[in-house]
Amino acid sequence: MPLRKSRSSAVEKALSPEEQQAKINEVRRMIGPLSEALPDFCSDASISRYLRSRNWNAEKASKMLKETVKWRLKYKPEAIRWEDVAHEAATGKIYRADYFDKYGRSVLVMRPGFQVGGKYKRKL
């Protein structure tokens, strides 16, 4: 299996498209029914990103993807609305970006370093 240097100067595996698809299918089998819970996060392209980030290690990539899906199912970040977090804007900790994501939704930017300790009762 050939190796190539990535931008981060780490050595990255270079897999053929067939090998990549086999790894994607392996991760999909490992995550099981979770792949149906959030299909956008379990697409071939998404799984491929997780695999690349873990140097094509299916076990590590599936663990990382499972944790992502579980977190998204628990906290439902796609359901956050400005009205839910507007009180955080008063602290300077969060603001609404002047652009939208690819689905046309507002983008909220959170800057935890701007947290005002104890001053506000409601905290994220």
Instruction: Give the model confidence (pLDDT) of 57-97 as tens digits.
Output: 999 999 999 999 999 999 998 888 888 888 888 888 888 89
Q: How far is CA 124 from CA 1, 27, 70, 75, in A?
A: 46, 33, 19, 11
- What pLDDT score was predicted for residue 117? 61
Nearest to 26 by CA among 13, 39, 44: 44
Ranges of each domain in the chain: 3-75, 80-114
**For 22-66, what is each residue's pLDDT tens digit?**
999 999 999 999 889 888 889 999 999 999 999 999 999 999 999
In this predicted structure, what is the pLDDT of residue 11? 66
The pLDDT, as a whole number, for residue 118 is 54
What's the CATH number for 3-75? 1.10.8
Output DSSP code: residue 102. Answer: T
